[in-house]
Structure 1
Amino acid sequence: MSPIFEGIGVAMTTPFKDNQVDYDAFRRHIEYLIDNNAQSLIINGTTGESPTLSDEEIKNLLKTGVETVAGRVPVIAGTGTNSTQKSIDLSIFAEETGADGVMLITPYYNKSNQRGLIAHFTAIADQINIPVILYNVPGRTGMSIEAETVLELSHHKNIVALKDAVGDLNYTINVLNLVDSEFSLYSGNDDNLPDFTALGGKGLISVVGNVIPGEMQDIYEGMKAGDQTARSRFNTLMPVINAVQIDVNPIPVKALTAELGFGEYALRLPLLPLEEEVRQPIVDTFNAFRKGVRV
């Protein structure tokens, strides 16, 4: 099976205005991302603050996203929760709405063992007919999908990829050595894009891509083409990548999406905006990068 996408998928932020979803800003952000060469859009993921969104907001964001994208790039819906049945319901809704795939995080808080993970993901994938990306982020969920578990799940016809946010390339290597070459791995860490691509990854589901998708896609394409300058060019992006990692995601990156005009600099509790003495240097770093100034 062909990958859902190759290169940079963007884990989109959710813009707010007066603590309500700003759908106009969301549409404008989508246009910006497509115009700047994002290869896929991921809606209602962790970066989108999905745990704080109402069911109605989650559904309206996905509907708006699918309608606005209009088939120009794949739309992937974050539908994973710590409830198997709720994840099934959201995944069915995503398919009916026109999403091109779903992304399923491991259950959090009521975390399971590996047998439970296989049963959980299989139960969801059995109920839909669009591709499934597994999402492994143990730093947030408190558990990991073992490489052998990924292998077993990869045999399901709908489970076609893994977002690997483990942050340990030895894990990536172990998975790649086990799964079929048609099973796609996407990094979940902006800072390891060159190394992940060199190992055989199909791209990145990116946070920093919310503001510099084209630059990140250029690095991916350069790495795939064997461009010897790709790594040095990637180093010029590191100040912006480091800036969006200075605090818990998506707190820093939303300072930059706000700078671009995509919603207010606002988050929903329990997340709070950065204090001004921290926010302003991040914005300064980003603006210096946009002007071509090395920082």
Structure 2
Amino acid sequence: MTGIALPSGVIVAPATPMDGELHIDYDALADDVERLIAAGVHGLTPCAITAEAETLDLGEHRRVLQTTVEAAAGRVPVYCGIGRPSILELRTLIDHVHDIGGDGLFLITPYASAHTADEVAAHFLDVVERAELDTIIYNCPGYSGVHLVPELISDLADHSKVVGIKEGHQPQLAETVQQAGDRLAVLTARDSYLMPSMAVGAVGVVSFAANVEPEAHVALYDAIAVGDLPRAERLHQAICDLVDALVARSYPVLIKEAMHLKGRAIGSARRVATPISSAERLRIAQAIDGVARAMA
């Protein structure tokens, strides 16, 4: 690694709290940031996919970023998600991140239209050069249909402000580490891959399930880091079971339900979804119980 402070550990993509009318509850968001930081997480990426960012209008997007940065108050880095289909809106958000004192950017592959990998890479570099902020890029072929291969990621890593990648194509994570891990932080995109990813050189996770069990995620990361394999294996299996329960349908419907079961009022999702079944709720509750046993 270089001498630049690179992201590592458990970086959480916070869910966005909503009230009964599906308006954003900004006070609840600030409280949730406090909860996550108190649990020991190492960073935040607001307005990512888990946050339902594509359902937010530009004003909401700006306010979610500002609320998160202000609530974090410099205690952990906040990599502000700025994914928008419009270049003009994206530029507005870059200026906004500077104005509110965000630590960096979380940059997702553009969605809502088809792009080539070279177009995406050029877009990432355009944003980074305009923003001059530390940036975590997201390779997410499952959502965008665009696959950034390790050679292209390595080229992007040559830019000093590209400090991390959320690698969403797990089969190539080890190769991404080999080709670019000396210049940027490689972070897995799936909580259940944290342990095997760190075994091949990844330095953490950009997590959705840590919205539900942040202490357990931090405990898993710490156990892996110090080589406490028995504890790491217990936590890894429990978190895998939780993740399986949470991804049975689209984000963040079941994530929000799990947070409710943990006593955290966060409202419903804006995305179209059928009612949660008793079987889904039971599976989530059992997974939460399993995490508690692994933490004991």
TM-score, normalised relative to structure 2: 0.91
- Offset, 1:51: 0.4
Among 237, 240, 243, which residue is 2:242 paired with?
240
Moved more, 230-239 or 151-160: 230-239
- 1:34-113 counterparts in 2 under 5 A? 34-113=37-116
Provide structure 1 residue ranges, at least 5 long, that are not aligned to the other structure: none
Is this contact kept in 2: 1:41–1:75, CA < 8 A?
yes
Preserved contact between residue 158 and residue 183 of structure 2 (Cα < 8 Å): no
2:11 — aligned with what? 9
**Cα pair distance change 1:112/1:49, threshold 3 Å:** same
Separation (CA, whole Å) in 1 of partners of 2:110 and 2:266: 31
Structure 1 CA distance for aligned equivalents of residues 261 and 30 of structure 2: 16
Distance 2:282 2:181 in 1: 44
1:163–1:130 CA distance, 2 compared to 1 (3 A): same
Identity of matched residues, %: 25
Shift of 1:262: 3.8
Q: How many residues align?
A: 291
Q: How does 1:197-236 map to 2 (within 5 A)?
A: 197-229=198-230, 230-236=232-238
**Corresponding position: 1:31 with 2:12:** no
Question: CA offsets, 1:157-189, max 9 Å, x none?
Answer: 211110011132xx1122112115131011111
Give the Cα–Cα distance (whole angstroms) in 1 for the partners of residues 138 and 168 of structure 2.
8
| Cα 1:175–1:291 shift into 2, 3 Å | closer
Change beyond 3 A, Cα 1:293–1:3: closer
Cα distance in 2 between the residues matched to 1:274 and 1:2: 46
1:225 shift after superposition:
1.7
Whether contact under 8 Å (1:109, 1:142) holds in the other structure is no
- Return closer, same or farther for 1:226/1:264 CA change in 2, 3 Å cut-off: closer
What secondary structure, in the 3-state scheme, does the structure 1 residue paired with 2:247 have? coil
Question: Which amino acid in structure 1 is aligned with residue 131 of structure 2?
Answer: I
- Structure 1 residues 115 and 280: CA distance shift in structure 2, 3 A: closer
- Relative to its length, the structure with more helix (as a share) is 2
Query: Which consecutive residues of structure 2, in runs of 5 or more, have no partner in the other structure?
Result: none
The TM-score with structure 1 as length reference comes to 0.91
**RMSD (CA atoms):** 2.0
Match in the other structure for 1:152: 155
1:250 paired residue number: 252
Aligned 1:134-213 pairs, distance under 5 A = 134-168=137-171, 171-213=172-214
Aligned with 1:21 (options 19, 24, 27) = 24
Alignment partner of 2:131: what SS?
A: coil
Aligned residues of 1:184 and 1:201 also touching (Cα < 8 A): yes
Runs of 4+ with deviation above 6 angstroms: none
